[in-house]
Structure 1
Amino acid sequence: MNHIKVAVVQATPVFFDLEATLLKAENIIKEQASKGCNLILFPESFIPGYPRGFSFEAVVGKRDDEGRDLYLEYWKHSLEVGSEAFLKLEKTIKESGAYVVMGATEKEAGNGSLYCSMLYFSPEKGYLGNHRKIKPTGVERLIWAEASGESLITVDSKIGRLGGLICWENYMPMARASMYRQGVQLYLAPTADARPTWTSTMQHIACEGRCFVLAANQYFRKEDYPEKYRKYVSNEANDMCRGGSLIVSPMGEVIAGPLYDEEGVLTATLNLEDLIKSKLDFDVIGHYNRSDIFKLEVKDQPDPINENAVKENKTN
């Protein structure tokens, strides 16, 4: 398959509402798949929403009951792999015929910790695996635990080698290199960063890795929070996240976007032969790789997940 159609979703979740956000995601998946999209990428923590502006009532050396109650609510609406809600999403994806990479706050049964995750789904095999953020940024560390090297996954799929990092993980040079060394072709970067510098970062990664880069962000306004949560963000501007989603070629050229100040879906048809052409003069793991000087060791990073080796219904 030399040509694939991709979709980058810039949408507003139904915040703190797992069921409603899943329904919105499922409708988007069905619509974009019906338009011939082979790959659909959602933003960082689209399920159940990125808690922008929240402090969870914590300061250094002190937490209180109101913040703990708020965390419990966020935990309840986070996504658990293998749960009824998860299996419903997986079923929708398999019926759609598209690959989907979903940004979600993920919880584990019997574990009170949460993770900021990218969940990979195949239209044939369903759930393939997840990447959990290895370093949450700033106050994110209060609500999201850290993952280790085993979370730096890539996926061999029928549409190319998939991989990527979440938000400011993309500013970690060795984390990026861990993706490049696996031969990533479709680099996925769900984010919560709406600054203009994010576009430059995505262009740099595309040039550096000689890969297509897909970056998805939410569009979010203060009014999108349910009324009972708005007191926590009273000092924030109304436009809390302007978006900035985009698609970039292996030569660093912006193919679609950046999209600001509205919900929408960016689509593009990618010619995978452009990946080879871009490596005439630069190949980060090929003829530009000075293995006689540099050595990258990534503890516990797994080999690429082979889609064909994944058993169906592994979560049932």
Structure 2
Amino acid sequence: MSDMLETVRLAAVQAAPVHLDREATVEKACSLILEAGKQGAKVVGFPEGFIPAHPSWYTVRPATGRVSLGLSRRLFQNAVVIPSESTDRLGQACQQAGLTAVVGMCEKRPDTTGTMFNTQLFIGPDGAILGKHQKLVPTVGERLVHTGGWGDTLKAYKAPFGNVSGLVCAENANPLAVFALMNMYPLVHVAAWPSFVSPALKLEDLITAVSRGLAYSMGCFVINATGVLDQATIDAYEPSAEERPFLEQCRGRGYASIIGPTGQLLTEPLGDAEGIVYADVDLNDVMIPKLINDFAGHYNRPDVFSVHVNDSAPPMLSRSAVAGTPAALEAESPVELPLTPLSLAR
């Protein structure tokens, strides 16, 4: 019997979070997951930093001013620990909907009071965490609240129909990150985007330029999930009279779409509304583009080009003890450490 791939329905979310409210936004994400499941979707992608919000206030507010500092503190207070009750609820929704979800969120480490990551969480249709991707390099104002991830989360994860990968915003244009994922042969890639970037760059143009080439070079389907700027978020930014017109121009807009493996647009835009766009795709359609240009295989020259990925995360702190002391003797005793769902055996 031939190795036929499935025909599946893909879903791209275009929505605003409940700004800086983790519990309410998790509830909204669960509702969107269940809605996508009812419509027959097998994978759904969410915008960048959907839970609890993306720190876009730095586009229009001074970094150390009262508004930015207050919003940043609320961002940490409402950031998501992985795993936690919040991720459990998302997993339950995925299990009920019978789909794989890639959810953008602001992540913090357990029992800490600082350091956050711009993360995509991958959850399978059984409700289990498949893994996560942490954005490698925060962009512009994100650097004030996010640190970069490491190579241990630069990977694709197995869904029932095949591998799914993801990257966040502008790193979808990073050719080395894309090449690393390309070598894992994802069938579906989730590109997570915010609601706006800056007055100097139109998000719609950025998504179009990046994602169509991304789909072609990777030889896979691309889900573009985008945020939406709502009035509550604009009010939270307390914009000046000079800043408000730009935000009002962005209000309500979204650019969710699904792109095919030859760069073709498969969906109609939702326009200025929240919702989900869908596309029914035959995953076998990735094969002919790959037969022509497999940049992770026959259409490359490993004898000319060499790419190295460090797939480990560096320790923040290491300890040593003087030989012969009780501490050193204790350290020499083998200790069984439980592996978290995201740990890598070495």
Tell me what 1:8 maps to. 12
Give runs of aligned pairs for residues 138-217 of structure 1, distance below 5 A. 138-192=140-194, 194-217=203-226
- Distance in 2, matches of 1:202 and 1:79, equals 28
Q: Does 1:254 align with 2:255?
A: no
Name whichever structure is richer in strand by fraction. 1
Q: Tell me, which stretches of 5 or more residues in structure 2 are unaligned?
A: 197-202, 314-339
Give runs of aligned pairs for residues 71-82 of structure 1, distance below 5 A. 71-82=72-83
Give runs of aligned pairs for residues 233-312 of structure 1, distance below 5 A. 235-236=243-244, 237=246, 238-240=248-250, 242-300=253-311
Q: Tell me, which stretches of 5 or more residues in structure 1 are unaligned?
A: 303-312
Secondary structure of the equivalent of 2:54? Answer: coil
Tell me what 2:229 maps to. 220
The count of residues paired between Structure 1 and Structure 2 equals 301
CA contact 1:152–1:301 (8 Å) conserved in 2: no
Q: Which has the larger radius of gyration?
A: 2
TM-score, L = length of structure 1:
0.88
Q: Once the two structures are superposed, what CA deviation does each residue of 1:223-273 show, in whole Å capped at 9, x if it has no partner?
A: 13274x241465132133622111111111110144432212110111011
Q: Does 1:231 align with 2:233?
A: no
TM-score, L = length of structure 2:
0.81
Q: Once the two structures are superposed, what CA deviation does each residue of 1:80-133 show, in whole Å capped at 9, x if it has no partner?
A: 112222212222222221111101111111231111100000012511111000
Give runs of aligned pairs for residues 80-159 of structure 1, distance below 5 A. 80-111=81-112, 112-159=114-161
Tell me what 1:307 maps to. none
CA contact 2:92–2:127 (8 Å) conserved in 1: no
CA contact 1:116–1:132 (8 Å) conserved in 2: yes
CA contact 1:214–1:247 (8 Å) conserved in 2: yes
- Distance in 2, matches of 1:169 and 1:4, equals 26
TM-aligned CA distance change 1:233 to 1:3, over 3 Å: farther
User: Structure 1 runs of 4+ off > 4 angstroms?
Assistant: 55-59, 64-67
Name the Cα RMSD after superposition.
2.3
Secondary structure of the equivalent of 2:204? Answer: coil
